[in-house]
Structure 1
């Protein structure tokens, strides 16, 4: 570590605790769902209620993602981070004290709000405080801790009671709230507010450089960037209407669409239940342990996004189903506990867009701890479902706040930044600008297919799936294996991504998941038709567990990682923040539908129908990638935008030359007028 970068590493460490909080909130349902189904809690939930518990966090994420757009620019990034702890703390209280489903709904929704706030503001804060030489390292720290949080929940969730896991959930937002109190505000935010002296002081703390001349030179460059940025708006309309962004939107949306409908999220949410139903012989705890380990390694280097937080449910669901907690939940209430985090993520994803630019990235990261803390309190003290709903929803808010900010690209070439700042970048322009249309379609398509490929539902229901598979593994053991494998794959994922390229890896991973999910569905079909799991000597009882692990490995290396990388590469900087918020809201809504729909699909078609649907969406993702997604590996931002927009991207050359030089603003009032 370079000595003068110490404060930047400390700031990234504080943010990493926030992302760790989102991952623990997101994965809470994986170990909890089996507990609901086995009546191991004091809350009695129907299958429908359980599905709502799982899914309700997504609307919270959408809500939380919108919050930063209101408070981040007004009160600062640091303030936004601090306030994000509130929905987590309150949500956890609801989860902890829940005695019926509605309390779990509220708690999970509040988790989603905190989730959305953190994911939205954290990446913005890091991009504004980090030196270009260590931006990748700082991002890796936050991603590593996010995966560690998922592994931790998956590892211990099945072995501890519902109350103990809930108490653990309230500690994390408190920790990151206290940690974020010590970090400086974003210098860029301070400059936008005309606080030059405060920006200089923050820059001195972050750089650790006592050479005033070098600090002033860096501050002057920041001023120039701020002035150029002010020449462009950043509305969502520009993202969707600008021609230069169209292909980037198409790629990003397409990847999200195929990833989601390929079943990644539903499988993750219901993995515990799936293992139970597969009768593979594995204990749900063992399957969740393996699942968590695998995903931990996958994401820690590949994406390390706060989506790993959704694995809380993997070890918890078997406890609910086995009545191992003080809360008795019906299957319907359990599904709500798992799903309620998604609405919170929607809410949390919106938070940074309101507060990050106004109050600073640091402030936004600090506030993202609040929904995690409060949400954990609700989960910890829940005696009925409604408290669980609130806690999980608050987790979603904190999750959404962090992931929205983390997903922003952290480094861009200076000339490309200046070029982009000459264009408007409002939300309206994002949706109406022809130049952004391709980017919107790509991004939305990828998010859609990724979500409905089952990643999140399986993650949430992994414990229950292990129980249903009758594989012979303890849920705790399965979760431990799951987390360990995920962690290992995450370590090697970045190397594979850089060597293979985006498009080939997307296609291969979608096709690989298609094969694995089809096999798992076939096993459940045979299980229902001929009862193959009734034989104690059944040699195929581990098919479900192995198939899910292989699918997680494949998706973790491929589309689960790339759906977040590609949008950061195909959207210009001037609309990247707006696009990030919009995509997080879109993803949160998709995750709610995917996770909430898991239980309904299982009741309607059986587990084989669920997995075959996810397989079909994974296949759709491969087809979408082949015909729509462009390759971005080895290309500069300018080259990517020229390929997406053509001549539209070069229209700013004349303006760029006219605005090539700007006098430094030395007085706060002068910069304030410009901004």
Structure 2
């Protein structure tokens, strides 16, 4: 789709909003552990009681399920299409909540959260493709970043609901979201790029006309068709191509570095244990309200970052974000060191724990929360993008699981100060990585980015924006 074609992009916003209900579902399932695990480990009030290790496993189970979901999505998305694959995710999300509401043992809880996690893996592999394929270049950054925004919204929502209702009631209320996903996304158009891949030209034309709000889509249709034919002639695209070409290897290194340091800074691990962290900080802090403030601030900052990333650039926001996160983590670690390892009374300044974590989420939300996902859609050519998205999501789940288990083990064995100091060190290393390795992609077409990765001279043209959109397919 070209930026020159007149019309309305309203349906693109609506389709992205409907699709990201799946991201909200995943965020709610992942964030469920924060308000619910403390209830399950409270022997005085719970009907189904679990120990610390079982609670930790419950927290990371969606990440394990997501690996299976990502691998599945990479196999089926070009068979069943983007729309139908996304529609299918509503079912396991819904089933997962019903199982959580009524299951009576921890094994069934494991299964329920694994099922939901698998659906989340499919979502994060397919939805960025769908949004990239339906969005005009002028709104691509904003709509693409909406995945991160709505994931945080899911965490906030489940913490609000879970703080006031029982586990069963929380699960039943939460099951409304996947139902809304199915009902609303059912009416959204299929990706025109996918339809052209299947030689359904007339259906692709109708889809484009709906998405553009215009009948004048011949130019867009021809450009997309030519791009698809060029991809087919050059190379069909295999997973091994991510490593055969030097430019793809460099892109993989950049993406894995960004996604790795994103998790090693502790963002997902901290999200799983926010209630416990605030409780450990001191009796004068209301952990329920502190957690809500934590996620509300994170949501607002991620929205702001998403709205300015196309103007401020990727690298400046990433560098500011990582440096600020490291400083906030150091402050948090120092507070818990004083609390755990000294005889100093911290009751008069226990608010530092809240300020430290909120400062972390502010700085992390400036760039590291959303930009790594945004750049994932920019660094790879069309024919390997599905494999790249799958690899990135699997890697994300592995690193988030490692970081979460690290937090759980260190807080039990050594104290939370060790956990936060470790995250701080990883953030500093990540800052160095961003400075020396991560390229700036602001304002560049995908062709320019690929040439930069290959070490060639970039060329900017008036048609660059159109070509960029074409290259974002898949």
TM superposition score category, shorter chain reference = 0.7 to 0.9
1:510 aligned onto 2:322: yes
What TM-score comes out, normalization by structure 1 length?
0.63
Measured on the aligned residues, the alpha-carbon RMSD in Å equals 2.6
Aligned to 2:454: 645
Rounded to whole Å, the distance in 1 between the matches of 2:395 and 2:120 is: 14
1:633 aligned onto 2:442: yes
1:148 aligned onto 2:148: no
Residues 596 and 168 (structure 1), Cα distance of their counterparts in 2 relative to 1, 3 Å cut: farther
Picking from 145, 162, 168, the partner of 2:173 is 168
Rounded to whole Å, the distance in 1 between the matches of 2:16 and 2:455 is: 37
Residues 438 and 133 (structure 1), Cα distance of their counterparts in 2 relative to 1, 3 Å cut: closer
Aligned to 2:223: 221
Query: Aligned ranges for residues 580-599 of structure 1 at < 5 Å?
Result: 580-599=389-408
Secondary structure of 1:194 counterpart: coil
- Work out whether residues 31 and 479 of structure 1, in 8 Å CA contact, stay in contact via their aligned partners in 2: no
- Work out whether residues 448 and 458 of structure 2, in 8 Å CA contact, stay in contact via their aligned partners in 1: no
Picking from 314, 319, 334, the partner of 1:522 is 334
Picking from 229, 232, 245, the partner of 1:433 is 245
Once the two structures are superposed, residues 194-237 of structure 1 have per-residue CA deviations (whole angstroms, 9 ceiling, x without a partner) of 2223323333433443x4xx344443333222222222446xxx
Rounded to whole Å, the distance in 2 between the matches of 1:206 and 1:522 is: 52
Rounded to whole Å, the distance in 1 between the matches of 2:29 and 2:95 is: 13
| Structure 1 position 6, deviation (Å) | 4.4
Residues 642 and 107 (structure 1), Cα distance of their counterparts in 2 relative to 1, 3 Å cut: same
The answer to which of 630-639 and 466-475 deviates more is: 630-639
Residues 491 and 464 (structure 1), Cα distance of their counterparts in 2 relative to 1, 3 Å cut: same
Once the two structures are superposed, residues 140-198 of structure 1 have per-residue CA deviations (whole angstroms, 9 ceiling, x without a partner) of 66655444333322323212221121112211111101212212222221221122233
Residues 196 and 615 (structure 1), Cα distance of their counterparts in 2 relative to 1, 3 Å cut: same
1:48 aligned onto 2:50: no
Rounded to whole Å, the distance in 2 between the matches of 1:4 and 1:648 is: 35
Picking from 402, 427, 437, the partner of 1:618 is 427
- Work out whether residues 247 and 450 of structure 2, in 8 Å CA contact, stay in contact via their aligned partners in 1: no
Aligned to 1:458: 270
Rounded to whole Å, the distance in 2 between the matches of 1:141 and 1:494 is: 7
Aligned to 1:118: 123
Once the two structures are superposed, residues 635-673 of structure 1 have per-residue CA deviations (whole angstroms, 9 ceiling, x without a partner) of 4433333332124999xxxxxxxxxxxxxxxxxxxxxxx
Rounded to whole Å, the distance in 1 between the matches of 2:87 and 2:388 is: 23
Which structure has more relative contact order (CA 8 Å, sep 6+)? It is: 1
Rounded to whole Å, the distance in 1 between the matches of 2:436 and 2:141 is: 31
Aligned to 2:33: 29
Query: Aligned ranges for residues 72-87 of structure 1 at < 5 Å?
Result: 72-87=77-92
Residues 509 and 205 (structure 1), Cα distance of their counterparts in 2 relative to 1, 3 Å cut: closer
- Work out whether residues 31 and 159 of structure 2, in 8 Å CA contact, stay in contact via their aligned partners in 1: yes
1:13 aligned onto 2:13: no
- Work out whether residues 517 and 614 of structure 1, in 8 Å CA contact, stay in contact via their aligned partners in 2: yes
Residues 436 and 648 (structure 1), Cα distance of their counterparts in 2 relative to 1, 3 Å cut: farther
Aligned to 2:254: 442
- Work out whether residues 128 and 377 of structure 2, in 8 Å CA contact, stay in contact via their aligned partners in 1: no
- Work out whether residues 33 and 464 of structure 1, in 8 Å CA contact, stay in contact via their aligned partners in 2: no
Once the two structures are superposed, residues 521-572 of structure 1 have per-residue CA deviations (whole angstroms, 9 ceiling, x without a partner) of 2222222223545x6xx32211211111101111111322222233333333
Gaps of 5+ in 1: 235-424, 651-675
Rounded to whole Å, the distance in 2 between the matches of 1:633 and 1:627 is: 17
Secondary structure of 1:639 counterpart: helix
Picking from 326, 333, 354, the partner of 1:545 is 354
Query: Aligned ranges for residues 242-641 of structure 1 at < 5 Å?
Result: 425-494=237-306, 497-498=309-310, 500-532=312-344, 538-641=347-450
- Work out whether residues 332 and 357 of structure 2, in 8 Å CA contact, stay in contact via their aligned partners in 1: yes
What TM-score comes out, normalization by structure 2 length?
0.87
Aligned to 1:367: none
Aligned to 1:255: none
Residues 132 and 639 (structure 1), Cα distance of their counterparts in 2 relative to 1, 3 Å cut: closer
Rounded to whole Å, the distance in 1 between the matches of 2:188 and 2:75 is: 22
Residues 619 and 50 (structure 1), Cα distance of their counterparts in 2 relative to 1, 3 Å cut: same
Secondary structure of 1:41 counterpart: coil
Query: Aligned ranges for residues 161-240 of structure 1 at < 5 Å?
Result: 161-209=166-214, 211=215, 214-233=216-235
Secondary structure of 1:608 counterpart: helix
- Work out whether residues 471 and 542 of structure 1, in 8 Å CA contact, stay in contact via their aligned partners in 2: no
Gaps of 5+ in 2: 1-5, 460-474
Secondary structure of 1:472 counterpart: coil
